[in-house]
Chains A and B, each alone.
Chain A
Amino acid sequence: MNNLIIGPIIIPIIIGLVLVVCRNSLGLHRFLSLLATVLIGLAAVLLLEQIRTGGMQILNLGGWEAPLGITLVADMFAVLLVLVTALIAFCCLWYACSSIGMGRERHYFYPLCLFLIAGVNGSFLTGDIFNLFVCFEVMLVASYVLISLGGTKIQLRESIKYVLINMISSFLFLVALAYLYAITGTLNLAHLSIRVAQSGQGGLMTVVALLFLTVFSLKAALFLFYWLPGSYSAPPTAIAAIFAALLTKVGVYAIVRLFSLVFYHDLGATHLFIGALAAASMVLGAMGAVAYDDIKKIITYNVVISIGFILAGFASFSLVGMRGMVYYLLHDMIVKALLFLSGGTVIHLTGTAKIREVSGLIRLHPQLGWMFFIAALSVSGIPPLSGFIGKVFITTGVFQSAYYWLGGIGLFTSLMVLYSVMKIFMNVFWGHTNLTEETEKGTTQGLLPPIVVLTALTIALGLGAEGIHEYVDLAVEGLLNPNLYTDAVLAQNGK
């Protein structure tokens, strides 16, 4: 029993609710919501140390023991993601403080973000698949409001698509859960793992697994990403950054968790299929990123490419590939937030997202320009930045597992990523300066510090990759050895 695990879930909920009650003091909203993310980060750091020294941490809610009650499981993988979530949320909320505007702030922007974070953390930490569904819904309901908050025309148009696609996938999620429960008679992930291992993963179980894969692919934008570029370019920058950095990653997390803990007996069917979907989303995402000349479109298509790349690492299902997957997932969350915030700042300054209409911005905003440059290098995996180490490990892992086509596509699309972000940099920041300080649509006041923090993080994660090596390895060990997870959850009560 370790009550600290509930911290990352109830801290944002409690503070969010207090903020709903104290609706009118916006200063308090800003301060407390930033404080909440700091507290989540602290809880995650404490948990990391406890897991490093004492193994996985378990909390049976209300004292109901697994597999009857709802269990929260903090393993290294989940807690690393919670920590990065806290860091990103801190930066995005900080950015929002000076960019989101009074109207949205008054209409519960900060509480909604906190509820979204609670849902994200809940999804990472839960050890019960039905509870995973609930946490997904908490996160999605908050995101429905955030995407339409403000009610501009484009937001309303895109939010209909977004809500509809997520309703459908939630419905499918519930259907898949019903099948799974009918077959195995349990919803606890550890218990499921044991039952599926005992009875063998037959054809029926693989079909259920693929139904789950469809659901999470919709959420993670793995191949089924057609809703994503529109939806993620509609809301204001801070919200889009939170969405891009966190929401799709929760889908990725769900795929990784489920297909490493429960459905890992038929790699030829499920994991090869994941690999094929990953390849398809990398190729299609790269086409989108190269084709458009709209900043928002280019970076949203980059989200799709990176999801494909992360899951390519997972599909290899080898030690090295998984290690790369963890590194790259952490890197990608940070760098996508960075890319969205810096890209959004450019749009905020120039009033347009078309890269052909702007040039020479670096003379007016050198800091922003160079930070965008670092983000661009990092996202395409140039050493010594954070993307490199993950990319090396994933590529090695994929080749080791003899998925040469997948590794080849991964490397080729990396070039496309580099081309697409450099296209933004060269067009927007280089060249003849066609703007003056007077004709700019906005200022960078208060917008740069969060971007600086994220840039520092991506550099630190690149240079300090060795430093978090121990944690990443523990995470991979937990993912590749399902019995560690099931023992931690079930053995504690002598079953």
Chain B
Amino acid sequence: MKRPNDVILRTVTKVAVVIILTFSIHLFISGHHYPGGGFIGGLAFTAAITLLFLVYGIDTIRKNISVDFKAVAAIGVLISVLTGVGGMMAGKPFLNQTSGPVDLPLLGDTMLATAVLFDVGVALAVIGTALTIIMSIGDDH
């Protein structure tokens, strides 16, 4: 098959992927108080990887990111469930959450919330599921 001339696409992708990934992390973090969160952040992250699939081909990306995305999804859900169990360990109901200011080095007085851990799980689950679907459909030729 003749390789298409996609210099522009490749060049733009190299820059765009970095921007999308950064934006996905921004979406993820801002989700605690503003629109965003694990689900949307995870989808934006998936969009970046999908762009890489489209431009460089699934095989190339798989060589560089050799992760089993099914396992990523499972670990994500596991993290989310275990944060719920964490509430039980503290003698509170399942899925109980807490937050409070913590004095971190460099960052100073920072507000930390256990809900973010839950969101990390959600993000991983979304990334794992979406990429598994895309890869299994994309591989089918």
Contact = CB atoms under 8 A, between A and B. Distances in A.
Partners in one complex: yes
Contacts of B97: 62
B71 interface: yes
B57 interface: no
Interface residues of A, number: 16
Interface stretch (B11-19, B47-55, B77-85, B103-111): B77-85
B78 to A, nearest CB: 4
B88 interface: yes
B70 A20 contact: yes
A463 B114 CA distance: 51
A62 B78 contact: no
Nearest to A16: B74
A10 B77 CA distance: 11
A3 B94 contact: yes
Contacts of A61: 93-95
B32 to A, nearest CB: 16
Given A23-B71, A59-B94, A10 B81 contact: yes
B62 interface: no
Given A17-B74, A20-B70, A21-B74, A63 B81 contact: no
Contacts of A254: none
Q: Is the interface of A mostly helix, strand, loop or mixed?
A: helix
A14 B78 contact: yes
Given A3-B88, A20-B71, A21-B74, A62 B93 contact: yes
A60 interface: yes
B77 A13 contact: yes
Interface in A10-62: 10, 13-14, 17-18, 20-21, 23, 59-62
B76 to A, nearest CB: 9
A6 interface: yes
A62 B96 contact: yes
Nearest to A59: B93
B93 A14 contact: no
Counting chain A CB atoms within 10 Å of each CB, the highest count among B68, B87, B95, B96 belongs to B95
A460 interface: no
B75 interface: yes
Interface of A: 1, 3, 6, 10, 13-14, 17-18, 20-21, 23, 59-63
Given A59-B93, A59-B94, A63-B92, 15 more contacts: A3-B94, A6-B88, A6-B94, A10-B81, A13-B77, A14-B81, A18-B74, A21-B71, A23-B68, A23-B70, A23-B71, A62-B93, A62-B94, A62-B96, A63-B96
30 contacts: A1-B93, A3-B88, A3-B93, A6-B84, A6-B88, A6-B94, A10-B81, A10-B84, A13-B77, A13-B81, A14-B78, A14-B82, A14-B85, A17-B74, A17-B77, A17-B81, A18-B74, A20-B70, A20-B73, A23-B70, A59-B94, A60-B93, A61-B93, A61-B94, A61-B95, A62-B87, A62-B93, A62-B94, A62-B95, A63-B93
